[in-house]
A and B are shown apart, each in its own frame.
Chain A
Amino acid sequence: MNAKFKPVVDALTNLALWFERRLHIVKIWESSAGHPIPKSSASWFYTFGSMTLLCFVIQILTGILLALVYIPSPSQAYQSLDYLNYQVQLGWFLRAVHYWGSNCMVVVMFFHMTQVFLWGAYKYPRELTWISGIVLMLLTLGLAFTGQVMRFDADAYWGIGIGAAIFGRVPFIGAQLVDLLLGGPIIGSETLSRFFALHVFVLPGSVLALVALHLRLVLMKGINEYPKPGVQVNRKTYDTEYNEILKKEGIPFAPHGIGKDIVASGVILLVILGLAIFVGPSGPRIPADPTQVISEPRPDYPFLWIFAAAALVPNGSEVALFFVAPTIAMILLFALPFISNEGEKHWSRRPVAILTVVTSYLGLALLTYGGMTGPWSPHMEAWSSQATKSQFIKGRTPLELQGAVVFQNKQCRNCHAVGGGGGTRGPDLTQVGTRMTEPQLIRQVIQGGGNMPSYGKNLTPPEVKALTAYLVSLRPPGAAPAQDTTLVHGK
């Protein structure tokens, strides 16, 4: 060392030691970041937890900054977000990072949960780590839901309305729950204020407390060793075995086990940054004006699957979907570490675990896709915005042409597509003439059935006659009209 610098280095060393003697930082470091982990656990698969935590830190930082400008009041919320988007220096960037940070946090959290599940990390003695993780998952979803309400656009407004409608289905205390949710008899300023209080105080505070517990449990019970097929967890011997592993191949998490976590953190930061810059912030979309009944509300990504499930369950089974199914799911999630407390950890010896993950992911992905496309929603403007293509008009008789007018003007296309244009709520009618006879069509139009209203009172007999004549003509060129087989056999 250059002798010139020696006094400076000595002074700095003394200063550091002065702090160390008072704060005992080395001791704290050794018992926290430097805690020993099995060498095998320094794996790429073990990085999702720290990524989730990093996302949460991003959310806190950007959230505090957003709160400097955002006004949680229905009269100002939308304007303050517009102001952030277009006028505040880098306000759009802040909103975009907060939005994509939230989506990434939910996704990475589920990856973390999946990994912990497949690697058997919830088994003895880490039951409480799993349980605190489930609570953290619920809190995170709560943050995502209350966060989309902050946008306070039409989606948020009607989303709260949907929440109220769901609460209103609770037996006995439904009305009281709705009042508690809305902070009054109707959606208004107190509704947004309470969602704001949940979003910025109650839920983040609870997450911090639970994260402290979650991390303390990781330190006390150690990180799960990388499972090996055939190695069984046994409550009586596990603690000794784990200590043996640490003695044999233990390394301090920081600095020797943390490398992959740091790389993964950098990657997730870049992903959030990239999405924020190239996709930008979300909304606010149409302002929350209750008199604009043109709204077709749809939740953010993390809840699209619930939205889709609500549309797909049989009519009348909403109570089962909204209350019974979540209760069963929660009981299973909380009970998991006790149901399978010992035994194999490695996923290759746990086919049920793999099946659970595959079916859950397939189900969530399909429902989310359904939620994005929403094939069950009528196209409310199809009748006035989509012209009938010429091949469905050409060569028709005057009666059939009248029917085409009825078909268009009576909003049939809002639910029924012809030639690709229109809703998909009801069956596609492009070739309906090949599968239904005129009497069957008349019956269906007049009586309705299933998800179709009966139009007996809403259409005049001539309109029905023209409409069904047109529907019979909807066949590919040369195809014969449908025949009633029961009649043919009856003769």
Chain B
Amino acid sequence: MNSDHPPLSPEAKKYSTRRDFLLQVGVLLNTVAAFLIGIPLIGFILASIIQTPPPTWFSLGPASKFPRGTTRRAVYTNPYRKPADGDTAILTCWVRHSEEDTFQVFAANCTHLGCPVRWFEESQIFLCPCHGGAFYADGSRAAGPPPRGLYVYEHKLENGELKIKAGVLPNLARPS
């Protein structure tokens, strides 16, 4: 401390000085400002949680592309495509058109850890290359570590077009 200043007398200590006041105002001002800046920043960080676009309907093309009794891979563009997405905006799913004339659309992601499952026409099995998870033609769990059957996208036929509700990476917490 600068020795030029005599220590404050007990009398003077009773009153708060202008410096003390300015310090308090400063702390208050900065706290308010920090919240005003900080809350929008946190909002920005959490934007992908708060503003998740829900799955949406879009077409996989004419249903005739998927003949009866077959399971084929369909390719579609992410409805929420962004300019810099590149190849990652082109997604894929498995379409099954059963002998009974019903459709099923499965996500390509294995329900164990998300690796891409492959369809084997000859043995009528979906097989995952990572840990050998296997699924039957109707998507139900066949063997291996997956905890459930393949993720199924909602679908509908409109004017001969097969439409599915997708656009979200399926996982155990949000199966479709």
Contact = CB atoms under 8 A, between A and B. Distances in A.
Given A179-B48, A184-B48, A168 B173 contact: yes
A412 B120 CA distance: 11
Contacts of B172: 165, 168-169, 174
Q: Say whether chain A's binding surface is mostly helix, strand, loop, or mixed.
A: loop
Nearest to B143: A453
B116 A158 contact: yes
Contacts of B73: 291, 293
B118 interface: yes
A278 B102 CA distance: 56
A455 B122 CA distance: 11
A450 interface: yes
Contact of A455 (B89, B112, B117, B123): B123
B88 A377 contact: no
Interface in A276-301: 287-297
Given A158-B116, A289-B90, A458 B124 contact: yes
B169 A187 contact: yes
B85 A189 contact: yes
A452 interface: yes
Given A158-B115, A410-B123, A296 B48 contact: no
Interface stretch (A2-10, A69-77, A336-344): A69-77
A454 interface: yes
A203 B168 CA distance: 28
B14 interface: no
A409 B122 CA distance: 7
Contacts of A458: 123-125, 136-137
Q: Say whether chain B's binding surface is mostly helix, strand, loop, or mixed.
A: loop
A291 B116 CA distance: 9
A378 B167 contact: no
A178 B174 contact: yes
Contacts of B129: 295-296, 377-378, 380
B113 interface: yes
Given A75-B86, A180-B48, A291-B92, A411 B122 contact: yes
A165 B137 CA distance: 22
A184 B131 CA distance: 27
A287 B87 contact: yes
B169 A186 contact: yes
A74 B127 contact: no
B58 to A, nearest CB: 13
Contacts of B122: 383, 409-411
Contact of A288 (B52, B53, B87): B87
Nearest to B175: A168
User: Which of B55, B88, B134 has the most A CB atoms < 10 Å from its CB?
Assistant: B88
A131 interface: no
A448 interface: yes
Contacts of B87: 74-75, 287-290
Interface in A438-468: 448, 450-455, 457-458
A248 to B, nearest CB: 41
Given A161-B109, A164-B114, A182-B48, A291 B171 contact: no
B91 interface: yes
Contacts of B89: 188
B109 A174 contact: no
A411 B113 contact: no
Interface in B100-153: 108-110, 112-118, 120, 122-125, 127, 129-132, 134, 136-137, 142-145, 147
Nearest to A187: B88
User: Which of B46, B73, B134 has the most A CB atoms < 10 Å from its CB?
Assistant: B134
Contacts of A411: 120, 122-123, 125, 127
Interface stretch (A104-112, A135-143, A310-318, A350-358): A310-318
B151 to A, nearest CB: 11
A299 to B, nearest CB: 11
B166 to A, nearest CB: 9
A365 B100 CA distance: 52
B80 interface: yes
Contacts of B88: 74, 157, 186-189, 191, 288, 290
Interface string B52-95: 11010000000000000000010100101111111111111000
B49 interface: yes
A164 B112 CA distance: 11
B84 A165 contact: no
Contacts of B147: 315-316, 318
B113 A166 contact: yes
A415 interface: yes
Contacts of A414: 120, 127
B51 to A, nearest CB: 9
B3 to A, nearest CB: 25
User: Which of B75, B82, B92, B145 has the most A CB atoms < 10 Å from its CB?
Assistant: B145
Nearest to B46: A180
A33 interface: no
A419 interface: no
Contact of B53 (A185, A383, A455): A185
A290 B123 CA distance: 24
Contacts of A174: 171-174
A177 B118 CA distance: 27
A183 interface: yes
A320 interface: no
Contact of B91 (A167, A290, A409, A425): A290
A162 interface: yes
Given A290-B116, A409-B122, 6 more contacts: A165-B113, A175-B173, A290-B90, A315-B144, A415-B132, A448-B142
14 contacts: A75-B85, A161-B113, A164-B171, A165-B113, A180-B48, A183-B48, A186-B91, A290-B90, A311-B130, A423-B132, A448-B142, A450-B143, A453-B125, A458-B136
Interface of A: 73-76, 157-158, 161-162, 164-170, 174-180, 182-191, 287-297, 310-311, 315-316, 318, 376-378, 380, 383, 409-412, 414-415, 423, 425, 448, 450-455, 457-458
